[in-house]
Amino acid sequence: MPKRNGKNADVRNENPEHPAGKAHNTFSKKANNRKYDLRPKTIIIAGSARLPKDVAVKNGSGCVTIELEVNLADKSIVDISCTLVPVLGEKILRNALLGNNIDEGIEEAIIQLDSRFFNATRKAVIAALEDAHRWYKRSLEKIAVRNTV
């Protein structure tokens, strides 16, 4: 480790070009305080499902969560976020969901996952999608009740 004034210096703090420095600097207070601007007329729904026991132990968490941002005007999925879904599995989800009607998109995502995604988490990911769809239906009922009051 480099020395400065006889003390060890942390390269991450000294050199932002150092690979460790980039990772260290990405978690600044400025980045954490950044606001995410939600699109108008959208809702966020999330579905979750338990992972198989052998997978849950490795990842430290027992659930897969899939969040969907849905435009209420046309029922299209405008954004997606997942936890504990492998990167390529998330690509399948994004391709099947983004821009599509939520009802058709979830059905298409399940078909794509069944035919293309062979992983221990597949059943949990599909169950999380189905749970998100249930939450979407519940949210529509709540919104309808609020609009009638």
Q: Report CA-CA distances (Å) from 39 to 35, 133, 135, 144.
A: 12, 20, 19, 20
What CATH number does residue 74 fall under?
Answer: 3.90.1010.10
Average pLDDT over residues 107-125: 92
pLDDT for residue 12 is more than 60: no
* pLDDT band, very low/low/confident/very high, at 55 (cuts 50, 70, 90): confident
Check whether residue 8 and residue 78 sit in a common domain. Answer: no
Q: Residue 82: what residue type?
A: C
Place of tokens 């999330």: 46
Per DSSP, the three-state class of 75 is: coil
pLDDT at residue 101, rounded to an integer: 95
Q: At 149, list the tokens.
A: 């009051």
pLDDT tens digits along 75-91: 999 999 999 888 999 99
Based on the fold, state whether residues 58 and 118 are members of the same structural domain. yes
pLDDT at position 44 is 95
Q: Specify the residue for token string 């600097």.
A: 25
Counted residue by residue, the chain has a size of 149
Cα separation of the two ends of the chain = 67
Percent over 90 (pLDDT), the chain: 52
pLDDT, tens digit, 9 for 90 and up, residues 122-134: 999 999 999 999 9
Is 37 contained in some domain? no
Q: What is the spatial distance between Cα 131 and Cα 49, in angstroms, rounded to a whole number?
A: 8
pLDDT at 33: 58
On the question of pLDDT at 102 being above 60, the answer is: yes
CA distance 7 to 18: 19
Residue 18 belongs to domain spanning: 3-32
